[in-house]
Structure 1
């Protein structure tokens, strides 16, 4: 391109030199036309070269801009990938946290349900027992009249053969033994009288163990005495009255004015 410009310039100089040496040449000669045409060609070529340079610059700018866009897209892609990874990790963490809380809630719910169930069962049992207590008939007995008044046998059970009251059917008039229908707190009492110049040594017995004792004697008249006890008796346990001492001088006494009695009642169960 530079060589063409130089060649064209040389031609122009030559033409001008020729025109100067041939001053007599007419202005509108063939050479003047060619000179003008050459000038137009040169100007056109210069414009084309300028346009080529502008296109080159534009192309470079476009290529540079495309590179910037490509880098921006790459940076955005990397940033999006990082954001996606971070969001995924955060979602996984949140999911694990929600799962842990759900498991904790389930465990707490099961413990609460178990405790409530246990409490309800305990309360139901208490209500059942209370209902049973309310529904149970009263336990009480009062027996009197002894057929064999002579206490000549060691540890002889004194049998009271008549029963004035026997709620709960715990007392047996054939054996003289009271069997507790239900467990609980019982109160027992024994009232005895002795013949003149005779002894009576009496014991209240719970399951073979004496829990109350009394001895009575008078050489001038018939005399009476009483003893008793409050005891915790289990269901099925037995209570009776026996002679703790025996012999020919040990004898009870009863008449219309003096009664020998054995009684008991359930105080609280």
Structure 2
């Protein structure tokens, strides 16, 4: 279609050119005129055909080039899509890794904070307890001089009615009972003397339970003996000394060189 239109256009242009130049050419015979006209038409057709071929080649080159460009663009598009996909996947992976590490760090930090807080609270509690211990007055007593020497009743409490020391006021001289002001480890000691030809069976008692005991006999002269215990006592618990047996031959003795004593001291909290 394009060739036919182009050929027609060339024919018309040729004819017009011929008419303009016809007046300048000398008048020849009818056959000479037709020969010249045919020759010009052939030359024109050859030129037109050459031009059409050139246009065709150019068109093919353009189409081929456009195809190459289109393919190149498609290749770049695919390559860019692949690169973008790879970059996106890598970014997502990196993002997930960063998020995982962040969560791990938060968890580790929170555990460390809790442990540190717990340790600090424990140390503070220890310090408070130590401060309380330092502020606590010393607890110790040393009592002597029995109120009653005759042991005529089993479970009779031996009341030491005088004290040399009563730090913390835990010992009661009217009852013979020591009441622990604070809980802790205490050491108690009992020393008693027996009249000659008499027996004694004193025992150390914690809240009704005998925790230490002793028996001794005064043969020809007065006799003394000692015993004791180290025990843990809770705050408010009571400790005392009692006779574990009774009878007419059970009697204690006291004098300048024969002193009956009951003592106790807080060793540690």
- TM-score, normalised relative to structure 1: 0.81
Measure, in 2, the Cα distance between the counterparts of 1:139 and 1:113: 41
Measure, in 2, the Cα distance between the counterparts of 1:231 and 1:88: 75
Measure, in 1, the Cα distance between the counterparts of 2:172 and 2:52: 138
Displacement of 1:189 in angstroms is 1.0
SS in 2 for 1:125: helix
Report the counterpart of residue 206 of structure 2 in structure 1.
Answer: 206
Displacement of 1:104 in angstroms is 1.3
Measure, in 2, the Cα distance between the counterparts of 1:63 and 1:158: 129
Measure, in 1, the Cα distance between the counterparts of 2:231 and 2:159: 21
Measure, in 2, the Cα distance between the counterparts of 1:261 and 1:40: 161
Measure, in 1, the Cα distance between the counterparts of 2:214 and 2:80: 104
Report the counterpart of residue 178 of structure 1 in structure 2.
Answer: 178
Report the counterpart of residue 109 of structure 1 in structure 2.
Answer: 109
- Map 1:40-55 to 2 at 5 A: 42-55=42-55
Report the counterpart of residue 25 of structure 1 in structure 2.
Answer: none
Displacement of 1:170 in angstroms is 1.2
Displacement of 1:120 in angstroms is 1.4
> Does residue 192 of the first structure (1) align with residue 219 of the second (2)?
no
Report the counterpart of residue 163 of structure 2 in structure 1.
Answer: 163
Report the counterpart of residue 241 of structure 2 in structure 1.
Answer: 241
Displacement of 1:41 in angstroms is 5.7
- Map 1:1-269 to 2 at 5 A: 30=28, 42-269=42-269
Displacement of 1:44 in angstroms is 4.5
Measure, in 2, the Cα distance between the counterparts of 1:179 and 1:67: 110
| Deviation readout 1:1-29 (Å, 9 max, x if unpaired) | 9xx9xxxxxxxxxxxxxxxxxxxxxxx98
Gaps of 5+ in 1: 5-27
| Deviation readout 1:175-234 (Å, 9 max, x if unpaired) | 111122222222111111122322221111122222222222224222222222222222
Measure, in 2, the Cα distance between the counterparts of 1:253 and 1:211: 24
Displacement of 1:103 in angstroms is 1.3
| Deviation readout 1:118-157 (Å, 9 max, x if unpaired) | 1112222222222222222111100111111111111101
Gaps of 5+ in 2: 8-25
SS in 2 for 1:55: helix
Measure, in 1, the Cα distance between the counterparts of 2:216 and 2:48: 157
RMSD: 2.5
Displacement of 1:77 in angstroms is 2.4
SS in 2 for 1:171: coil
Measure, in 1, the Cα distance between the counterparts of 2:143 and 2:218: 25
Displacement of 1:257 in angstroms is 3.0
SS in 2 for 1:172: coil
| Deviation readout 1:29-62 (Å, 9 max, x if unpaired) | 847x967786566445433321221111101110
Measure, in 2, the Cα distance between the counterparts of 1:85 and 1:51: 50
